[in-house]
Amino acid sequence: MLTFEWSKNDEHLEIHADEAGLARLAKVIEYLRGKSDQDHVHLMSPKWGGAELSDTCQGLSNRPIHHVKVFSWKG
* % of the chain exceeding 90 in pLDDT: 89
Residues in the chain: 75
The answer to whether 58 and 5 have CB atoms below 8 angstroms apart is yes
Domain span at residue 56? Answer: 2-72
Q: In 1-75, which ranges are continuous DSSP H helix?
A: 19-33
- State the pairing for strand pair 39-44/2-7: unpaired
Q: What is the pLDDT of residues 18-70, one digit of tens each?
A: 999 999 999 999 999 999 999 999 999 999 999 999 999 999 889 999 999 99
Total domains in the chain come to 1
